[in-house]
Amino acid sequence: MNISLEKIRECLLEEQLLKEFTTTEGWSLSVPASLDHKLFDALSYDSRTVSSSTLFFCKGLNFKEDYLKKAVDAGLEVYIAEQPYDVAASLGIIVTDIKKAMAVLSMAFYDYPQNKMKLIGFTGTKGKTTAAYFTKFILDHATNKKTAMLSTMNSTLDGQTFFKSHLTTPESLDLYRMMAEAVDNQMTHFIMEVSSQAYKTNRVYGLFFDVGIFLNITPDHISPIEHPTFDDYFYCKRQLISHAKTMILNRDSDHFQLLKETAELHQTPYIVYGNQQLETDYVYQTTPDDSLAFSVTAKEDKLGIADEYHLRLGGDFNKGNALSAVIAASLVGADHLSCQLGIQEATVPGRMELLTHTNGAKVYVDYAHNYDSLKNLLTFVKEEHPDGRLLVVIGSTGNKAISRRKDFGTVLSELADIAILTTDDPADEEPALICKEIADYITAPIQVETITDRAEAIAAALSLSSAQDAVVLAGKGADLYQKVHGEDTPYEGDYAIADRLIKENGADVFNPKK
């Protein structure tokens, strides 16, 4: 992989991003003659990983000129930034928007890998990971496991080996590097979750999807460092609609009419699914005698997918996610049998995983981490266990999505019998203070405990449970890290902790440190 200065100039001019080239000789809009044949064989935004043939991006709110000076001392010759810096570099490429420039140049450097695969993008407040997994299971059948995926919980570039991604949607430089690796691995399809931040910070600037799926929208990620308002959050989410060749829209989503109007404004063809007949192309209905089955009907079944499907994951909300995946996979070539088999076999790490305590209580592990997903989860579990109590272990993230703390207090007030508040990626905040904020929003007279050690909180919930009860471990899912002060601190995982405690201690008093 390499890119020339002339190609860089061409790409930036095409997107109207280039301000000027700056050297010790002055400013220009032409490539300096002395660097006319300069080739870059690496891109980086980490000043610790540079050489003379690296194009270095000066990006980020925390970027300091000192980082650039150290990179130049290490041999860096050319940087790209939104302003000139007084450093001894051979060339500064000055642009109007560094994040857009990084996206444009990254796709060019990696030879536009997005055009060599079918690209599927999911957005929504909840359900993105589950729907992405459903789609991958379907396409694994249809393509003989030639499907890559970028997901909040797990990602794969060869269809089979998985790794943890730090961001729901990676920085553009990393995104195109991963896409190029998937192409090298002979992947034919690429599924990814597209976050609101990806559009707000231009990580996916200029990227178009073969199929985009808008699952739902409810307030989330509202904070000073993410989205200042719901309007800003929703607007960023809607950008997927104008960057997809075909959209799939959920008729049951809040603000559906605006989603539909957005698709029509941008002349993006769309397919509507949901559990009601009005304005819906594909309708799903629960099979009365089987809570894990649903049927799909259509006014005009152009995709040939109207039939009955069986799930391994409980909850009516997963049926809508499954149908969105069936439609998406069908649009990129999956056959009907692959759709049925994929849906029937799909499992999602940290989603609706179930354990049985020795005393008979059921233990659910789920990634539910915002208002709607938590409410749907607790509603489902409560309906499944009408004769017992609902015990919920939950925390809230630090430094972001501050509004969730009130949301969790509201849901716990409505549905929980016992709430055990604990740690969940506290970042730079004190877990106890986050728990107190949640507790302050609990208005119902339920039992509330604060145990900041998450393993001890899980142990306490198991100890307090009895035969008819259900214990819900919410928020972390299959995540094996806690984000603390900027570091990914290893964490055993909710399911592993609960499984270990049940096996080690039986129905006795639990000791998570045993």
Is 511 part of any domain?
A: no
* 127 assigned binding-site residue: yes
* Same-domain status, 497 and 390: yes
Domain check: are 122 and 28 in the same one? no
Q: What is the largest CA-CA distance in the chain?
A: 80
Residue 495, helix vs strand vs coil: helix
Q: Is residue 512 part of a domain?
A: no
Domain with 9, as residue range(s), is: 3-109
DSSP-based three-state secondary structure for 383 = helix
Same domain, 147 and 222: yes
CATH number, domain containing residue 250:
3.40.1190.10
168 is in an annotated binding site: yes
Does the annotation flag 304 for ligand binding? no
Q: Which residue bears the tokens 């949607």?
A: 169
CATH code where residue 431 lies? 3.90.190.20
CA 392, 398, 400 angle in degrees (round to 5)? 110
Return the closest-CA partner of residue 134 out of 358, 327, 373, 284. 327
| The one-letter amino acid at 73 | D
| Residue 405 annotated as binding site | no
Number of folded domains that form the chain: 3
Return the structure tokens found at 360. Answer: 């008979």
The DSSP H or E segment spanning 473 is strand 470-474
At residue 203, the pLDDT reads 96
The tokens for 493 are 């995982």
- Do the Cβ atoms of 134 and 207 come closer than 8 Å? no
Cα dihedral 440, 442, 445, 450 sign: negative
CA distance 222 to 216: 16
- Strands (DSSP E) found in 97-238: 118-123, 147-150, 189-193, 209-214
Same domain for 227 and 319:
yes
Same domain, 453 and 496: yes
Report the pLDDT value the prediction gives residue 510, as an integer from 0 to 100.
46
Q: Report the predicted TM-score, pTM, of the whole model to 2 decimal places.
A: 0.82
Distance, CA of 360 to CA of 375 (rounded, Å): 24
Known binding residue 397? Answer is no
Residues 6 or more apart whose CB falls under 8 angstroms from that of 51 comprise 42, 74, 75, 76
Identify whether residues 321 and 376 lie together within a single domain: no
pLDDT at position 514: 39
Asked, for residue 500, whether it belongs to a domain, the answer is yes
Residues 213 and 309 in one domain: yes
**Domain edge (last residue) among 109, 132, 148:** 109
Same domain, 174 and 311: yes
- Torsion on CA atoms 451, 455, 458, 464, rounded to nearest 10: -70
Asked whether 43 and 55 are in contact (CB, 8 A), the reply is yes
- Are both 424 and 311 inside the same structural domain? no
Query: 179 and 296 share a domain?
Result: yes
- Give the type of residue at 1: M
For residue 93, what are the β-bridge partners?
21, 80
Identify whether residues 223 and 165 lie together within a single domain.
yes
Closest CA to 259 of 366, 125, 163: 125
At 153, list the tokens: 């919980």
The whole-angstrom separation of Cα 476 and Cα 484 is: 14
What is the CATH number for 25? 3.40.1390.10
| Cα–Cα nearest to 250, from 124, 367, 151 | 124
3 state SS for 418-461: EEEECCCCCECCCHHHHHHHHHHCCCCCCEEEECCCHHHHHHHH
Instruction: Single out the residue in 280, 315, 345 at which a domain terminates.
Output: 345
Same domain, 322 and 386: no
Q: Does 217 map to a domain?
A: yes
Torsion-angle region of 130 (φ positive above 0: left; ψ -120 to 50: alpha; else: beta) = alpha
Collect the ranges in the chain with pLDDT lower than 50.
Answer: 507-514
pLDDT at 219: 80
pLDDT of residue 508: 45
Judge residue 63's burial from the number of C-beta atoms within 10 Å of its C-beta, 0-12 exposed, 13-18 middle, 19 or more buried: middle
Last residue of a domain, one of 313, 345, 377: 345
Given the DSSP bridges, would you call strands 91-95 and 18-23 parallel, antiparallel or unpaired?
Answer: antiparallel
What percent of the chain is helix, strand and coil (3-state, nearest 5)?
35, 25, 45
Judged by phi (left if over 0) then psi (alpha if -120 to 50, else beta), residue 255 lies in left
At 512 the pLDDT is 42
Dihedral over Cα of 124, 127, 128, 132: its sign? negative
Please check if 358 is assigned to a binding site.
no
CB 27 within 8 A of CB 19: no
151 is in an annotated binding site: no
How many helices and strands in the chain, by DSSP H and E?
15, 25
Q: Does 251 count as an annotated binding residue?
A: no
In a domain, 408, yes or no: yes
Is 510 a member of any domain? no
In a domain? residue 394: yes
pLDDT at 506: 55
Q: Which two tokens stand for residue 74?
A: 């290490």
Does a structural domain hold residue 105? yes
